[in-house]
Structure 1
Amino acid sequence: MATNRAKPQSPSEAVLEMYAAFNRADPATVAEIIAEDVVYEDLHIFEAPMRGRAEAMNFFNKFWENCGTKLHFIVDGITTNDPTCCGVMWHMEHKGSHFPYSKGCSFYKFENTNGKLKLVYGRDVMEPAKKHGLGGLGAIKGVLDQHES
């Protein structure tokens, strides 16, 4: 007996759908894309990864509570040729203007679950508000020197 499953979309299509839903504060659509056992890292905000859809959605709901649909994620570049992973460069805008310190990139990994791609891993990296310039290299050198002693 043949099943009538829809062909899984690509990771890039799923990510674009997720960003569009995020921009309109549509938690049902975002939650549908995310796997129940997702591991999601936001390296700018949290020290430990969020584990599970409920924890990730709690964070996203807090974002919507604080920002509503005032901030929009704008995709600057996206990879399209991998059947399981997708990389995205993005920035945020408010009323059509670039929002300060909001450039970032994300990496997403998907798995096919019952004929549908589900986000199983995400990592967001956002630019820091404070830029350290070449002095940042001195700090890195200090850490390296300390670990070699």
Structure 2
Amino acid sequence: MAIAVNFSEQALRHRTYLRLIAGLDPLPFQKSCQLEQKRMKKQPHGIAISRQEKNKLTNNRGVSLIMSSNNNSDSILGAPSAADTIKHFYLCINEKNLEKLGGLISEDCHIEDCSFINPFYGKKEVLHFFDLLIRSMGQNVKFIIEHVCEADDFTAGVNWHLEWNQKQVPFTRGCSFYECSEEGEKLVIKKALIVIESPIKPGGVVLVLLKNVTTIFDEFPRAAEWFLKSPYVILQFLLKIYTIFLGPFISPLVAGYVRIWEFMARLLALAIKIVIYISKIFFR
């Protein structure tokens, strides 16, 4: 009799447990699955990595460690994203590996550096520019990535600075924006815009100039609209006037000024080399 009572109690508990399970709302579980699927879709190439983990990787000062771990896991996680390509790009610069750097540049690459007057077109010209950059960095200067942001699977932005022996070099902060394209099973850099911090800080002058320009625009709205519709045409017209009337007088002065600064720069470089040579002799 006791056995029958125990059996009935177990059956009752089992039924109650099944009713409780049946009464549970399955929507939270479905919603969590849907959210997970959305996260998987948002990640490039189906890689579900949380934003916090990406930020931890990005803010890590050891860029080489980041990329070595990414390279070891490429076969597992799939093709790299735009952010991975940019990290690998800066790693190649820090390692002064121009051959690997060339594998990340497309044939029709277009690099626009705001420190230069003309942009760089084509893989050959772009690699020549980065070759000069790598030589100018010496042995101890490295790019340090601060943040990397992805707009989609093919565009990414990064802000960085330069360090010499883990000490930040003044006036070397910059932001770069990259557009990638698919080349086989990898992403390569197709277009880039590089903006570097200026050592000259004309903040007050810029604000005064902006105030004067906007005041003129407000006083003469029709002329402002006409100017803003075709500014390049007007600037070309002014440039022709300058070339005809003022160019013959001002151009020689500007050319002489540039030559003087080039001579001073070479003289300073020579003086630095002499000081380094003397210091090596006396402080060995």
TM-score by length of 1: 0.87
In structure 2, the residue matched to 1:54 is 124
Q: In the TM superposition, what is the alpha-carbon distance from 1:143 to its structure 2 partner?
A: 5.1
Give 1 or 2: higher strand fraction.
1
Q: For the residues of structure 2 that align with 1:115 and 1:81, how far apart are their CA atoms?
A: 20
In structure 2, the residue matched to 1:14 is 85
Relative to structure 2, which stretch is displaced further, 79-88 or 125-134? 79-88
Does residue 130 in structure 1 map to residue 200 in structure 2?
A: yes
In structure 2, the residue matched to 1:104 is 174
- Equivalent residues of 1:109, 1:119 under 8 A apart: yes
**Which residue identity lines up with residue 29 of structure 1 in the other structure?**
K
Does residue 68 in structure 1 map to residue 118 in structure 2?
A: no
Q: In the TM superposition, what is the alpha-carbon distance from 1:63 to its structure 2 partner?
A: 1.4
Does residue 92 in structure 1 map to residue 162 in structure 2?
A: yes
TM superposition outliers: structure 1 runs of 4+ over 3 Å = 140-149
If you compute each CA radius of gyration, which structure gives the higher value, 1 or 2?
A: 2
Q: How many residue pairs are counted as aligned between the two chains? A: 143
Q: In the TM superposition, what is the alpha-carbon distance from 1:65 to its structure 2 partner?
A: 2.1
Q: For the residues of structure 2 that align with 1:85 and 1:76, how far apart are their CA atoms?
A: 17
Consecutive unaligned residues of structure 2, counting only runs of 5 or more, are 1-74, 218-222, 228-284
- Equivalent residues of 1:41, 1:123 under 8 A apart: yes
Q: For the residues of structure 1 that align with 2:125 and 2:188, how far apart are their CA atoms?
A: 16
SS at the partner of 1:129? coil
Relative to structure 2, which stretch is displaced further, 121-130 or 72-81? 72-81
Q: In the TM superposition, what is the alpha-carbon distance from 1:117 to its structure 2 partner?
A: 0.6
Q: For the residues of structure 2 that align with 1:29 and 1:59, how far apart are their CA atoms?
A: 15
Q: Higher relative CO (CA 8 A, sep ≥ 6), structure 1 or 2?
A: 1
Q: In the TM superposition, what is the alpha-carbon distance from 1:28 to its structure 2 partner?
A: 0.8
Residue deviations 1:81-135, cap 9 Å, x none? 6201010011111111110101111000111111211110011101110111222
SS at the partner of 1:136? helix
Q: For the residues of structure 1 that align with 2:83 and 2:155, how far apart are their CA atoms?
A: 8
SS at the partner of 1:9? coil
Residue deviations 1:22-77, cap 9 Å, x none? 0111101111001011000111x212210011111111111122223332111110
In structure 2, the residue matched to 1:82 is 152
SS at the partner of 2:157? strand
TM-score by length of 2: 0.47
In structure 2, the residue matched to 1:114 is 184
Consecutive unaligned residues of structure 1, counting only runs of 5 or more, are 1-5
Residue 132 to residue 34, structure 1, CA distance change in 2 (3 Å): same
Residue 138 to residue 96, structure 1, CA distance change in 2 (3 Å): same
Give the alignment's Cα RMSD to 1 decimal: 2.0
- Equivalent residues of 1:40, 1:50 under 8 A apart: yes
